Amino acid sequence: MKFFVDTADIAAISELNDLGIVDGVTTNPSLIKKSGRDILEVTKEIAALVDGPVSAEVVATEASAMIAEGRKLAAIADNIAIKLPLTWDGLKACKALSTEGHMINVTLCFSANQALLAAKAGATFISPFIGRLDDINLDGMELIADIREIYDNYGFETQILAASIRTVNHVSDAAKIGADVMTAPPEVIKKLAQHPLTDAGLAQFLKDAESAGIKIV
């Protein structure tokens, strides 16, 4: 499974990227707003920092305007993935921009039918939102499984990008189902390394080492 970082925080991306676990970055207007910086400026900096795809989202809602914005975003760097909403106009823009050879991340997916349409329109990534489905008492993982089955049935190359990940269980569950990519905030990715038994074991080792007078210089 590829790990994308869902943030526009350069310092957070750099820290994780130094560990070699960053395969890409996803951003959106809300995340850019939190950074307090110009969207083109921060997107360019992120794209230069990581080797993998960097999703940059359009803010237009009409197809021709999405296409124009998408081309402007794609011009920032070769690893930009244009992020489009899963609307009818978004699908039109996806078809046009993917035909031009651009990477496309179709976002705000909440049904298998939507994912099927995005794949047929040439999407590079489809982003089903797990957490937001869970918020309304629907099973986000069931959607991931449905999309995986449909894509495998017909050989679609669109990658399933599990998004709106809120917990470490979301990550492992999506991985078991076969999501190609997951994107999560830095704090969720860091929590993947945590386990109470690891903490307890380390505490015991340190206690024993101190009692035995063990020091490694």
Q: Which residues are catalytic?
A: 83
User: Residue 141 in contact with residue 165, Cβ under 8 Å?
Assistant: no
Burial class (CB in 10 A: 0-12, 13-18, 19+), 162: buried
Quote the crossing angle between the two packed helices 63-74 and 88-99, to the nearest 10°: 40
User: Residue 141 in contact with residue 174, Cβ under 8 Å?
Assistant: yes
Select from 173, 172, 174 the least CA-distant residue to 160.
174
Tell me the C-alpha to C-alpha distance, in Å, between residue 157 and each of 10, 74, 178.
30, 21, 13
Q: What is the CA radius of gyration of the chain?
A: 20
User: Residue 83 in contact with residue 76, Cβ under 8 Å?
Assistant: no
Tell me the C-alpha to C-alpha distance, in Å, between residue 95 and each of 44, 91, 178, 181, 216.
24, 6, 25, 22, 60
